[in-house]
Structure 1
Amino acid sequence: MAIIEADRARENPQPETAPLIVHVVRQFLPNRGGLEDVVANLGRQTLRRGYRVRVVTLDSLFTAPDKKLPPREDIDGIEVVRIPWSGSSRYPLAPQVFRHLADADLLHVHAIDFFFDALAWGRLLHGKPMIVTTHGGFFHTRKYAAIKKIWFRTLTRASAMAYRRVVCCSASDLKQFSEIVADSLLIENGADIGKFADTASRRARRRIVTIGRFSVNKRLDHLLDAMAVLKARDPEWHLDIVGAESDLNRRDVESEIESRDLTGRVTLHVSPDNDSIRRIITEASLFASASEYEGFGLVALEAMSAGLQPVLNANDAFATLAARHPAIKLADFTSPETAATAIESAYESLSREPDIVRARLLDAARGYSWDIVAGRYIDLYRSLNIGAAESL
């Protein structure tokens, strides 16, 4: 949201009579990631449309569990409540969530985790109507795949019965969740297309950006393997890795870079702010992701909005986006040679028609504006008789 919109939300808070949407999500700002961005952008847009918004989340980041965040905070007009938790980051236990729901008109749960199950089984305690957005479920890696499938078809199916609607944020999620909830609804995620809008280099350059958490499923090792091939073919290639520590920390990624003799050809940027990321993007022409699993592919859309040519691993979410937007190039990143060739081909195409390619990318990204996507959520809220007066 533009700065002026954030200021308007703070200066003109919604009246106490406005409907209150309580978003429940395991991680929120100041953490950065796809899930956090979705909830923040939806919350801001919902405020503009006359609702009150609260986010109930955990009181520390998974990357720094011992550093407690403020228990309450106002972020762009969004009331943020943080609660203690225990257990694993995969399934954090936080029963105090029930203390912050009494005045809610609707609970909007994000992701399939403890909150999803606990609020379903505790619905007689809180008595609130609920919807859930899937955000990829819990199939981000193939680890424990058999157990996950059993869990999904038993406990997840039972918990889903407590929700008025199950909202899937990608076609792959819809295919999966329709197996247990026949009337699952598709509302694809929005992208903050203004954040890095049209900032990529105007001149085609052999410089690649990848953005995302340093998670095992992002397969930075595969991307670095492809980068090693590119470097051998042309030493001008450069890769900027942008993200926050997660399953992998800074030292893990640095070791992967050093082991491939890519020091000087790969630059690591740990948790930079948006202004810093924008400066990195201005020097680049391509975006690459070797991720083996994505819930939707939000970061690819943000890259497109910047004018970066995406070259993406052919996972389900990226393949769905590419089928819709031919400007996206797919590659098999399990083969370094194949991926490197795909990146070179994308660069050559961009070099021949830089303005045409850029226009296609920017046009494709516009369809995912949060203004459009939030409107679909507002329609859903109103269909559940949770309405508000517009306050633009």
Structure 2
Amino acid sequence: MSAVETYVKDAEPSVASAPLIVHVIRQFLPNRGGLEDVVSNLAKHTLKRGYRVRVVTLDSLFTTPDSKLPAHEFINGTEVVRIPWSGSTRYPIAPQVFRHLSDADLIHVHAIDFFYDALAWGRPLHRKPMVVTTHGGFFHTPNYASLKKVWFQTITRLSAMAYDKVIGCSMSDLRQFSKIAPSRTIVIENGADIGKFADRASRIPRRRIVTIGRFSANKRLDNLLTTLAALRTRSEDWHLDIVGVEYDLSRNELVDQAKKLGIETAITIHVSPENDAIRQIISGASIFASASAYEGFGLVALEAMSAGLLPVLNANEAYKTLADRHEQISVTDFSDAATAADALDAAFERLHANAPAIRAQLLKEAGDYSWDVVADRYISVYEQLIAG
């Protein structure tokens, strides 16, 4: 997860003749996460370029399904329409999406789920140009791996035929989806909101770690806590700040595990903090860590770099790709607590020896992922398809 900027509800924009991009996504504001952050930033930059933007999303958050959100509002200039749903959070069924597409100039679907399949099979009904951004597909965990492979090679492959462009947000997504849509798959890597936490990390190297993300099983916070326990046997200065929103893990479950490991005083858990609070947390830390088993791109690691935090990441495919590009990023195996503790110790020693130079390099390289650049790439695709 990556926190998004505080959102502002506002009135309907006055420009009604501009082209309309309709984003379709399971969860949006007020929910917080990497995917929501991507759509929020893309919408903001698309509006700046003279388009209108609508987001069609579900009418409740997965964490509080019985609490219904407003059916219609404008947030930061973006029209937000929320529709009823049923079924599981992995594949929520929401057929009312078709009611909100008639005036669209282009439909942009995010992630591979019900919306991806339904809008593909329903294209003869809405007849709109369509693109999809893959956001890692549905391979975030090894659960049901065989079924997922069969589904990908059949249903996902057939649905891909309806999309004018399949946009991978990472090189791993590009390789995966090129297998089923080779002539239409391109890559546009995610942007990072590099101004949100810019240069906020501690200027004095500290044995304090921040991790940011949903409290979900695939983030492997259990491995991170076990690693912290190993670090504490070496120095009691080590501390971990866990920042995020409750998902399929709760705050209490994390506290219980920390107590079992004897490190409850060495962690601080921050549930759904605002960005100002996150900036304050980051200001006391020097290292960012993620034990995540799977990432679609690794957006949160880039935001950590922009803050001046030195990333130590689990060796999943997305993180290894980032580490190949950025020499200051370390990858390790967080399933082995001793190995991961060695990597975090080594990161701290590097900072202790050469913090100003490392910080300058992290800030400079994070700047390459500016949303201004990424939005231009998306707008180029939009313009081509709308003109066609």
Contact map agreement 2:9 2:74 (CA 8 A) in 1: no
Instruction: Give the distance between the partners of 2:46 and 2:265, measured in 1 at CA.
Output: 44
Give the equivalent residue in structure 2 for 1:90: 90
Q: CA deviation at 1:250?
A: 1.4
Q: C-alpha distance in 2, partners of 1:277/1:7?
A: 16
Aligned twin of 2:346 = 345
Q: Which residue is equivalent to 1:166?
A: 166
**Aligned residue for 1:283?**
284
Q: Single out whichever of 256-265 and 129-138 deviates more from structure 2.
A: 256-265
Aligned to 1:143: 143
SS at match of 1:303: helix
2:302 aligned partner: 301
2:235 matched to which residue of 1?
Answer: 234
Indicate conservation of the 8 Å contact 1:14/1:50, yes or no.
no
Whole-angstrom distance in 2 between the partners of 1:44 and 1:269: 27
Q: Which residue of 1 aligns with 2:127?
A: 127
3-state SS in 2 of match to 1:385: helix
Q: Which amino acid aligns with 1:174?
A: L
Q: Which amino acid aligns with 2:384?
A: S
The aligned residue for residue 76 of structure 2 is 76
Question: Residue by residue, what CA displacement relative to the aligned partner does 1:77-132 show, whole Å, maximum 9, x if unpaired?
Answer: 00000000000000000000000001000000000000000000011111111000
Letter in 1 for 2:70: P
Give identity over the alignment, percent: 65
Given residue 268 of structure 1, which amino acid in structure 2 is its aligned partner? I
- C-alpha displacement of 1:259: 1.1
Aligned partners of 1:89 and 1:344: how far apart in 2?
A: 38
Gaps of 5+ in 2: none
Task: Work out the number of aligned pairs and report it.
Answer: 383
CA contact (8 A) 1:106 1:386 kept: no
Secondary structure in 2 matching 1:384: helix
CA contact (8 A) 2:6 2:274 kept: no
Instruction: Determine the structure 1 residue equivalent to 2:26.
Output: 26
**Residue type at the aligned position of 1:217:** N
Answer whether contact 1:14 1:51 (CA < 8 A) is retained. Answer: no
Residues 1:335 and 2:375 are matched in the alignment: no
Could you say which residue in structure 2 is the equivalent of 1:46? 46
What amino acid is aligned across from residue 202 of structure 1 in structure 2?
Answer: R
Change in 2 beyond 3 A, CA 1:218/1:9: closer
- For 2:295 and 2:132, how far apart are their aligned partners in 1? 18
Show the 5 A alignment for 1:177-256: 177-183=177-183, 184-256=185-257
Q: TM-score, normalised by structure 2?
A: 0.96
Q: Distance in 2 between matches of 1:366 and 1:386?
A: 32
User: How far apart, CA to CA, are the structure 1 residues paired with 2:209 and 2:14?
Assistant: 43
Could you say if the C-alpha distance between residues 10 and 245 of structure 1 is closer, same or farther in structure 2, counting changes exceeding 3 Å? closer
Q: Do the aligned partners of 1:213 and 1:244 also contact (CA within 8 Å) in 2?
A: yes
Q: Measure, in 1, the Cα distance between the counterparts of 2:323 and 2:293.
A: 15
Residue 390 of structure 1 corresponds to none
**Would you say the 8 A contact 2:11–2:74 is kept in 1?**
no
Determine if the alignment matches structure 1 residue 384 to structure 2 residue 385. yes
Cα distance in 2 between the residues matched to 1:223 and 1:61? 27
Amino acid at match of 1:370: W
Deviations 1:218-239 (A, max 9, x none): 0001111110010010000000
Structure 1: where are the runs of 5+ without partners? 388-392
Q: Where has structure 1 moved over 4 Å in runs of 4 or more?
A: 5-12
Tell me the C-alpha RMSD between the 2 structures. Answer: 1.7
Matched position secondary structure for 1:40: helix
Report which stretch shifted further, 252-261 or 116-125. 252-261
Q: Kindly indicate whether the alpha-carbon contact (under 8 Å) linking 1:6 and 1:44 is maintained by their aligned counterparts in 2.
A: no
1:273-324 C-alpha deviation (Å, 9 max, x unpaired): 1111110000000000000100000000000000000000010000000001
Q: Distance in 2 between matches of 1:262 and 1:42?
A: 40
Distance 1:69 1:55 in 2: 14
Alpha-carbon offset, residue 385 of structure 1: 3.0
Residue 14 of structure 1 contacts residue 52 of structure 1 at CA under 8 Å; is this kept in 2?
no
| Pair 1:64 & 2:34 matched | no
Q: CA deviation at 1:13?
A: 3.4
SS at match of 2:369: coil
